[in-house]
Chains A and B, each alone.
Chain A
Amino acid sequence: MKNILLVLSTSRTSPEAVEYALALAKKEKARLITLFIMETEIVSEVFEIFSDIGFTGDKPSMRLTEAMMREFRQRGYEELKKIEDIAKKEGIPCELVIEEGDFLKKALWVMDKYGIDSAVAIKKRRSAIASYFIRSQVLMLKEKAKCPVEIFQEE
């Protein structure tokens, strides 16, 4: 059985990409592996701003980042639950994975672990200037992945 990976994250969601991944898995009679990555870099950035610029103590900054991680985890579970429900209804074998850490590293790790044949990922919306200076993680994923990666724009 083929394995199709749908990569979602805290800052990358798209109903269109979810729909496409489900349709692809159904057509290919494949297993859909949905990965939700909680990006710790967003939380680290906030911690640094509070600590280095706001001079807030460690405890309030930690509480704040813990609250953010809880929220991100909750969002991940909700997103994955929705996909699982649709997959069940459509008779698509589905596996849910939730991971915490760097987007690129985690996505590549799951690709290797599950022997992924095809992947669907979502690219963040960025201004032309920002795209020029900051390389897209999703484009890097496409470059480094051993399987084809279909890219959708974030909504």
Chain B
Amino acid sequence: MNISIDRRPLWLVFALKGFRPLFFLLLGLFFWYAISMPTPSGLSIEGHKIIVLFFIALALWVTNTIPLAITSIFVIMAIPLLGVMDTKETYALFGNEAIFFILGAFILSAAVMHSGLSSRIALTILERFGTTPRKLILTIFLLGTFLSFVMSEHAVAAMIFPIVLEIAKELDLKPRKTNYGKLLFLSLAWGCIIGGVATFLGGARVPLAVGILKETSGIGIGFFEYSLAVLPAVFIMLIIGFFILLKVYPIDIDSIERARTGLVAKNKALGNMGYEEYLIGILMGVTVFLWAFFGKDLGLANIALGAVVVLFIFRLVRWRDVEDYVNWGIILMYGGAITLGSALAGSGAAEWATNLMLGSSGLRPWAIIAILSLLTLFLTEGMSNSAVIAILMPIAGGIAMKFRLDPKIITYAIAMPAGLAFTLPMSTPANAIAVSSGYLSVFDMAKAGILVSLSAWIVFNLMVWVYWPMLGIR
């Protein structure tokens, strides 16, 4: 009998087996060592402690050894225990408007999904416009984009994936063997990703960035204001993204008739649109309109929560349904991130760190934005989009002040690229599901994804130079 021997060094075998305890032990030792070091000059004692805590949170968010939300709970608990802020002040940051806005938006999105309205819209659009192989890819791409304007991009990807999987099945595409299979899943993933950065609703990352900005500098960004600033970039990226997709993976089938037959049948099976779907559609439309044009006067969170109350008055959704669709971990994650950002700014640690990193650099403001957006794009490929915002946003205020930039620009330079992960599957659910389908490999995604990421960075920086000055953002 053949016996294969594990020839790896013994230390590596032990290290891999005991990774978690070793990781936490090292983290604990780092914490103890760093906290007992003398406080650097120019930094307050509270600032020293919060910077150490920031590095611990950074390590946990990057490695994902415990869920993101649990890292946030740890941060919230540690801030008063370390004496950075008192307990009352720390927990009060949980009442941030951004958190309640996200809560309301997620409950509304749950109602749209539960009623079947989102599936109906998806199937109707695919049946109506996906008439040729090329048009079907474009329709999936744009469907992901536009639905992600009003719902979480992850929820949109999860909802459209089974439909795309059935299309691939009906077309008898062999996993990893055909370009068309790759195109179907890449267009789904990238459509959702690009659409997810267009509004406050796409990935809920933008409200987090805006919430941290508000807590740290008192400056707010409106729903319409943000979308107006980024929408041209979104449309340019859609064109470039679609062009790159078809260039890297040319269409290799002639007909999609069998898939169309399946779509027609599925659409028919849905029956007529019900009263609940109509009401939820109208409510969603009115809410988005109010967010866009009356958000500053009425308050984004107030509008979101008002819409949620209306949902329950008309019995359009039950609490049990909401619980099935909403992941409450997001509230904890965002609450912790906002608290950490506020503590870093309030203790002066963010400003101190910015001076330390960029103090003697003679960088021009445009170079700072280019570097920051590139760093964000790079980080977001390897870790959660929200974690990137939680890590970079606290120093945004310090950078803006040092280089006399509008803090909104720095917020955009982090919030928008943080959602644009096109290359790897580990950090973005839409990419993960595309690769897990088996129709494309990580390499297939990375090959085209690098080009799209690079284009996104160029487009973003062109916007900063050309378009934003027209809007008065400098």
Residues of A at the B interface (CB closer than 8 Å) are 10-11, 42-43, 45-46, 49-61, 63-64, 67-68, 71, 74-75, 132-133, 135, 139, 142-143, 146-149
Query: C-beta contact mask, B312-338 vs A, less than 8 Å → 1, else 0?
Result: 000000000001111101100100000
Q: Which residues of A contact B386 (CB under 8 A)?
A: 53, 55
Indicate if the CB atoms of A55 and B204 lie closer than 8 Å. yes
Count B interface residues, CB 8 Å.
Answer: 45
Q: Per a CB cutoff under 8 Å, which of B162, B326, B385 touches A67?
A: B162
Residues of chain B in range 118-168 having any CB-CB distance to chain A below 8 Å: 152, 154-155, 158-159, 161-162, 165
Could you say which of A49, A59, A67 contacts B325, with CB atoms under 8 Å apart? Answer: A59
Contact A56 B433 (CB under 8 A): no
Contact partner, A64, options B64, B113, B162, B325, Cβ 8 Å = B162
| Contact (Cβ within 8 A) B169 A71 | yes
- Nearest Cβ on chain B to A113's Cβ, whole angstroms: 19
Knowing A139-B4, A142-B4, the reply to whether A57 touches B162 (Cβ < 8 A) is no
Choice from A43, A54, A132, A149 contacting B429 with Cβ under 8 Å: A54
When C-beta atoms are compared, the residue in chain A nearest to B324 turns out to be A59
Asked if residues A147 and B1 are in contact (CB atoms below 8 Å), the reply is yes
CA A144 – CA B67 in complex, angstroms? 34
Q: Tell me if B429 and A56 are in contact (CB < 8 A).
A: yes
Pick 8 A–B contacts, CB within 8 A, sort by A: A52-B67, A55-B152, A59-B325, A63-B162, A68-B165, A133-B12, A139-B4, A142-B4
Bound-state CA distance A134–B438 (Å) is 20
A57 and chain B: residue at smallest CB distance: B325
Evaluate whether A49 and B438 lie within 8 angstroms (CB atoms) in the complex, with A143-B4, A149-B2 already known: no
Q: CA separation between A85 and B324, bound complex, in Å? A: 44
- Shortest beta-carbon distance, A36 to chain B, in Å? 14
Find the B residue at minimum CB distance from A125. B441
A54-B154, A55-B327, A57-B324 known; A49-B67 Cβ under 8 A: no
Q: Which residues of A contact B4 (CB under 8 A)?
A: 139, 142-143
17 extra A-B contacts, CB within 8 A, seeds A49-B432, A71-B437, A149-B2: A43-B436, A45-B432, A46-B433, A50-B154, A53-B428, A54-B158, A55-B386, A56-B152, A57-B110, A60-B158, A61-B158, A64-B162, A67-B165, A68-B165, A75-B175, A139-B4, A148-B2
Chain B residues in contact with chain A, CB under 8 A?
Answer: 1-4, 6, 8, 12, 16, 64, 67-69, 110, 113, 152, 154-155, 158-159, 161-162, 165, 169, 175, 204, 323-327, 329-330, 333, 384-386, 426-429, 432-433, 436-438
The chain A residue with its CB closest to the CB of B387 is: A53
Q: Report whether over half of chain A's contact residues are helix, strand or loop; otherwise say mixed.
A: helix
Q: Which B residues are CB-close (under 8 A) to A46?
A: 429, 432-433, 436
Please, which residue of chain B has its CB at the minimum distance from the CB of A46? B436
Which of B64, B169, B175, B329 is A55 in contact with, Cβ under 8 Å?
B329
Q: Smallest CB-CB separation from B203: which chain A residue? A: A54
| B158 A53 Cβ-Cβ under 8 A | no
State the CA gap A135–B13 with chains docked (Å). Answer: 10
Most buried by B among A51, A57, A68, A74: A57
The answer on a CB contact under 8 Å between A55 and B113 is no
Q: Contact between B436 and A60 (Cβ–Cβ < 8 Å)? A: no
A51 — nearest CB in chain B belongs to which residue? Answer: B327
- Beta-carbon contact of B6 and A135 below 8 Å: yes
Does B1 lie within 8 Å of A55, measured CB to CB? no
- Among all A-B residue pairs, the 5 with the closest Cβ atoms: A54-B154, A67-B162, A54-B429, A57-B325, A55-B330
Q: State which of A53, A56, A132 has its C-beta within 8 Å of the C-beta of B68.
A: A53
